A = this chain, B = another copy of it.
Amino acid sequence: MVTLAEVARHAGVSASTVSYVLSGKRSISSATRLRVERSIQDLGYHPNAGARALASSKSNIIALMMPLRTDMYVPVMMEIAVAVATTARTHGYDVLLLTGAEGAPAVRRVTGSGMADAMILMDVELDDDRLPLLRESGQPAVLIGLPAETVGLTCVDLDFVATGALCAEHLAGLGHRDIAVIGEAPAVYERHTGFAERTLEGLRARARELDLRLLHRPSDGGYDAMAATLARIFDERPRTTGFVVQNESAVEPLLALLRRQGRAVPEDVSVVAVCPDPVAVHASVRLTSVAIPAQEMGRRAVEHVVAKLNGHGTDGIELLAPELTVRASTGPAPA
């Protein structure tokens, strides 16, 4: 293990000089800089992270807290995580991965130990028990998702209200009048994760303006659950011709069931999904969808966090504008 002191000796300078070469916080003659850099190369020196953290009280680490439930909106979470990790690297930070399993205590542990300089929380619920701790810790943090009370917090999320509105507009524009919304699993609503409710809100508001009739049904994923849900929908509203689906694991079952019932997509019924683009593209019918910009969300979260760490902090909410891509699953309402 090569130390700074050894590099200094090798280059014939003092330790502080090497440190300044590394950090650039004081001017160094280019002659010494070069000499030091050569020594660093020659010896294969890497600064010790612990020592650095201790001396500077900066860890250069951002903690990312993921939901534990590995069965839900997984691809989105994964994309966010990867985007966070890569973006963080471009700013010189590494990412510590925390799972929701520990919950609030993890926040305390990380902020208390100086293990990370900042936190990013995913899957924030409307009334999240990690937030009070976060607030009092005073540690820079960014949420991905939108809690009920956002004072003093920075949040990044897709504008789900606008997303709902967009779906309603698209279907209305094609002449559909009866719309069924296949929502997330009931558990998601019970946890009040917010985004599902916000989509619905946007959907309802615009539906009212556009004079659509809306039926909302949460649904667990899977074929059997979907079959039951679908039966109830057509029972209540036989003239339903438009579907909005916000549940990745309901998409394929829905398509399969519609096919089996002899309803052609998009000739008889139209389907709009709210899901990541890859899911929409790989589905058995290429889906018209509003993308969940997972990468963008991860990237923006890191950028906010880094800005805070550099003092250009700005609290507030950034809602990303939704984009609807028309593919093969929506068409004019049947006459």
Contact = CB atoms under 8 A, between A and B. Distances in A.
A82 B61 CA distance: 19
Contact of A283 (B44, B101, B252): B252
A98 B66 CA distance: 15
Given A50-B59, A221-B282, A79 B70 contact: yes
A101 B115 contact: no
Contact residues of A: prevailing secondary structure: helix
Given A222-B282, A223-B285, A282-B223, A108 B78 contact: no
Interface in A244-267: 249, 252-253, 255-256, 259
A71 interface: yes
A68 B70 CA distance: 19
Given A89-B102, A99-B85, A223-B285, A48 B114 contact: yes
Interface string A267-289: 00000000000100111111000
A51 B48 contact: no
A1 B138 CA distance: 12
Contacts of A259: 256, 259
A259 to B, nearest CB: 7
A27 interface: no
A23 to B, nearest CB: 15
Given A94-B98, A97-B95, A252-B252, A278 B81 contact: no
A65 B74 CA distance: 18
Interface in A51-96: 51-54, 57, 59, 61, 64, 66, 68, 70-71, 74-75, 77-79, 81-82, 85-86, 89, 94-96
A108 B46 contact: yes
A47 B86 CA distance: 29
A109 interface: yes
Interface string A106-128: 00110011110000000000000
Contact of A113 (B48, B57, B255): B48
Contact of A53 (B49, B64, B96, B99): B49
A101 B256 CA distance: 38
A264 to B, nearest CB: 12
Contacts of A78: 70, 74-75, 77-78
A284 B82 contact: no
Contacts of A70: 75, 78-79, 82
Interface string A153-165: 0000000000000
Q: Which 3 A-B pairs have the closest CB atoms?
A: A50-B53, A46-B112, A256-B284
